[in-house]
């Protein structure tokens, strides 16, 4: 079983790229595409036991760390933080730039073949930017959580907020659906995982959307406690 899982983990980047379709394209950046930000000193990757639980990050360009090195993206930072705290996990970063909740739902079955202990779901920003109906976003998130639960994995939903220019009714409805979906589906929730990063110029690249390495470290800090609790709950 370990050999099968290892092969799947190695194949993930190729297969995730292959499953992209025309609805899964990145949003355009504002202005010229930013050059890759030079990395600060990055800690060496931790040694992860072969029997450590698998954690899948199902997300979009935020999870993928667009414009940055893979080890600068917040899922890799969370892995290092939790390994230090005695919660090592094998990371599968299933972040695909431009991904919507519909695209995430479409690839959930394949991702669950990784036999994850926890699935961290960070989707919805691209839906909101495109003005997709709230009912559709909620239906897709419920579909993902239902599949995760039936697979025996635990779920951590990352709440997202939109800027006010999308209209008061839409913005408030968008914000509220994360708490409702998490509660009704028994998922853990980080209410606003971009706290301290979203809308903070120095934490984002020139496009104003994608975080810098420092921004990703803040995202990791926002997520680590909630993920540690889920890993604790599955211990033994």
Active-site amino acid positions: 61, 207, 210
The torsion of the CA quartet 22, 125, 101, 10, rounded to 10 degrees, works out to 80
State both tokens at 3: 């050999």
Output the CA torsion sign for 111, 223, 67, 174: positive
CA angle 24, 212, 127 (to 5 degrees): 25
| Mutual angle of helices 74-84 and 213-233, in 10-degree steps | 50
Cβ-in-10-Å burial (0-12, 13-18, 19+) of 199 comes to: exposed
- Name which of 140, 174, 170, 149 is nearest 159 in CA terms: 174
Q: Assess contact for 205 and 37: CB atoms under 8 A.
A: yes
Give DSSP secondary structure letters for 139-167: HHHHHHHHHHHHTT-EEEEE-----GGG-
State both tokens at 27: 């949003």
């Amino acid at each position: 079983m370990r050999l099968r899982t290892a092969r799947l983990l190695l194949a993930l980047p190729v297969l995730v790229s292959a499953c992209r379709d025309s609805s899964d394209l990145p949003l355009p950046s504002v202005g010229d595409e930013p050059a890759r930000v030079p990395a600060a000193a990055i800690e060496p990757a931790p040694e992860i036991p072969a029997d450590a639980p698998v954690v899948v990050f199902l997300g979009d360009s935020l999870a993928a760390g667009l414009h940055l090195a893979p080890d600068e993206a917040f899922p890799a930072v969370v892995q290092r933080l939790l390994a230090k705290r005695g919660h090592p996990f094998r990371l599968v970063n299933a972040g695909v730039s431009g991904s919507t909740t519909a695209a995430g739902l479409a690839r959930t079955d394949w991702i669950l073949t990784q036999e994850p202990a926890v699935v961290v779901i960070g989707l919805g920003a691209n839906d909101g930017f495109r003005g997709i109906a709230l009912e559709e976003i909620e239906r897709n998130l419920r579909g993902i959580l239902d599949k995760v639960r039936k697979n025996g994995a635990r779920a951590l939903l990352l709440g997202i907020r939109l800027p006010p220019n999308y209209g008061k009714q839409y913005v408030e409805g968008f914000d509220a659906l994360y708490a409702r979906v998490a509660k009704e589906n028994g998922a853990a929730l980080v209410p606003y995982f971009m706290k301290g990063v979203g809308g903070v110029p120095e934490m984002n690249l020139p496009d104003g959307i994608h975080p810098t390495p420092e921004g990703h470290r803040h995202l990791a800090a926002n997520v680590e406690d909630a993920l540690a609790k889920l890993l604790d709950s599955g211990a033994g």
